[in-house]
């Protein structure tokens, strides 16, 4: 039983030690401001980054070695391929030389069947109908023979020459017809140009005649207009002379006062005929102006008295405002003194309270042991 208990205690101690280890790791993570601010396991991430870099470097070395092996293998294959092509070329060259030297077509047994010059070397079946090789029982003519080939070619050449001569004659006739048509067209065009020139000359002559007629008409109109203006000027001069005589003998220049009276009333005059006021009217106007001057002086005196009264009232109001302001200042100084006394009493009470709290209430100051009891666990 004791042995079983010891094993159970060891197991429990290992469990407790593991929990303590996890708790210490957790506290290190939680109480570390940098790790807590980031919110992740930076050491684990750094380890992962390092492992990833090592893995990438290993893969890069593998790829580099594999690429070098590929290059070496490619070079080997290129060398082998070049060697194989060179061997095949040399073999084909040797076979060709052997065939040229020892296997000529003329030495073959069946060369006469495949000779490309056999038809050139062979003679025709017959030369003509009187060929002595053609016996009575032989065939006199074979399909496809053309013994009259030279004569036929000659006849065809003659026929071609005749056709060419006919074509040249037709072409010559066509050129002559074209030249004749061109000459007729040129004659027609020249006739049309001459007709156009004649019409243009006739039009210019007509315009010149119209211009001369227009000029003569304008000159006649100008002469008539000048004569009319001269007559009108003479008539105007005569009218002006008569008007001057009428004005000289009229009432306007003789300065008759009655000719300025208007028919609309005794107090109205005709402006362009009025020659000025009479002495009675002038005296009346002077009397009215004097009355207006006296009236203006009276109004100015009343205005001066009214302004003086307003100035006296303003001075009295300003004196009363100054007195009220002085009284208000005295009341403000009295209130300020009372407020200062009240503030002094409050300051004394506050200092007495602070002294009571410091000496009677807050006598036990916290030590480091008090603060060490916080943040001792991660839970």
CA 166 – CA 177 distance, rounded (Å) = 16
Q: What is the pLDDT of residue 282?
A: 81
> Rounded to whole angstroms, what are the CA distances from 370 to 75, 152, 377, 379?
81, 143, 15, 19
CA atoms within 13 A on the CB side of 216: 5
Indicate if the pLDDT at residue 14 is higher than 70.
Answer: yes
CA 156 – CA 226 distance, rounded (Å) = 103
The secondary structure of the chain in percent helix, strand, coil, rounded to multiples of 5, reads: 80, 0, 20
Query: Which of 242-251, 258-267, 312-321 has the least mean pLDDT?
Result: 258-267
Confidence of residue 165 (pLDDT cuts 50, 70, 90): very high
**337 domain residue, yes or no:** yes
Percentage above 90 pLDDT, the chain: 28
Confidence of residue 87 (pLDDT cuts 50, 70, 90): very high
Instruction: Tell me if 260 sits within 8 A of 274, measured CB to CB.
Output: yes
Tens of pLDDT, residue by residue over 172-185, are 999 999 999 888 88
Number of domains forming the structure of the chain: 2
**313 domain residue, yes or no:** yes
Percentage above 70 pLDDT, the chain: 81
Confidence of residue 243 (pLDDT cuts 50, 70, 90): confident
> Rounded to whole angstroms, what are the CA distances from 58 to 15, 50, 54, 62, 268?
40, 12, 6, 6, 130
**190 domain residue, yes or no:** no
Query: Which of 14-28, 69-83, 119-133 has the least mean pLDDT?
Result: 119-133
**59 domain residue, yes or no:** no
Which residues, other chains included, contact 273 with Cβ-Cβ below 8 Å and sequence gap of 6+? 251, 252, 259, 260
**22 domain residue, yes or no:** yes
**323 domain residue, yes or no:** yes
Strand partners, 261: 269
Instruction: Tell me if 349 sits within 8 A of 357, measured CB to CB.
Output: no
Angle ∠(293,294,300) on CA atoms, nearest 5: 90
Task: Kindly report the number of other CB atoms within 10 A of residue 125's CB atom.
Answer: 13
Domain assignment of residue 322, given as a range: 293-356
Tens of pLDDT, residue by residue over 107-137, are 888 887 888 888 787 777 666 666 777 766 6
Give the residue carrying structure tokens 């009891």.
373
Q: What is the pLDDT of residue 1?
A: 43
CA 58 – CA 61 distance, rounded (Å) = 5
Length, in residues, of the chain: 379
Instruction: Tell me if 25 sits within 8 A of 32, measured CB to CB.
Output: no
């Amino acid at each position: 039983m004791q042995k079983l208990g010891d094993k159970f205690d060891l197991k429990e101690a290992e469990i407790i030690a593991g929990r303590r280890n996890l708790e210490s790791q957790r506290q290190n993570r939680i109480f570390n401001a940098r790790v807590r601010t980031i919110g992740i396991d930076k050491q684990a991430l750094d380890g992962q980054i390092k492992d990833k870099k090592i893995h990438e470097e290993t893969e890069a070395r593998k790829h580099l070695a594999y690429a070098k092996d590929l290059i070496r293998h490619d070079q080997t294959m290129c060398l082998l391929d070049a060697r194989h092509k060179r061997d095949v070329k040399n073999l084909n060259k040797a076979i060709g030389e052997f065939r040229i030297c020892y296997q000529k077509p003329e030495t073959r047994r069946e060369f006469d069947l495949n000779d490309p010059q056999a038809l050139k070397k062979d003679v025709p079946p017959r030369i003509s109908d009187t060929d002595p090789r053609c016996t009575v029982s032989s065939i006199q003519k074979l399909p496809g023979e053309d013994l009259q080939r030279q004569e036929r070619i000659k006849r065809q050449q003659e026929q071609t020459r005749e056709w060419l001569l006919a074509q040249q004659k037709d072409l010559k006739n066509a050129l002559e017809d074209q030249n004749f048509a061109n000459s007729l067209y040129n004659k027609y065009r020249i006739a049309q140009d001459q007709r156009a020139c004649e019409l243009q000359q006739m039009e210019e002559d007509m315009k010149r005649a119209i211009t001369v007629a227009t000029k003569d008409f304008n000159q006649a109109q100008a002469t008539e207009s000048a004569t009319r203006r001269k007559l009108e000027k003479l008539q105007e001069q005569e009218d002006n002379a008569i008007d001057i005589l009428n004005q000289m003998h009229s009432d306007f220049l003789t300065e008759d006062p009655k000719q300025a009276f208007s028919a609309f009333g005794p107090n109205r005059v005709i402006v362009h005929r009025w020659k000025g006021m009479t002495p009675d009217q002038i005296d009346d106007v002077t009397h009215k102006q004097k009355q207006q001057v006296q009236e203006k002086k009276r109004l100015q005196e009343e205005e001066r008295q009214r302004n003086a009264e307003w100035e006296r009232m303003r001075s009295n109001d300003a004196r009363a405002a100054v007195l009220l302001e002085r009284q208000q200042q005295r009341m403000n100084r009295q209130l300020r003194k009372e407020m200062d006394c009240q503030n002094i009493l409050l300051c004394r009470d506050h200092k007495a309270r602070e002294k009571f709290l410091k000496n009677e209430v807050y006598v036990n100051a916290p030590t480091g042991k008090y603060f060490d009891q916080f943040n001792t666990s991660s839970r």
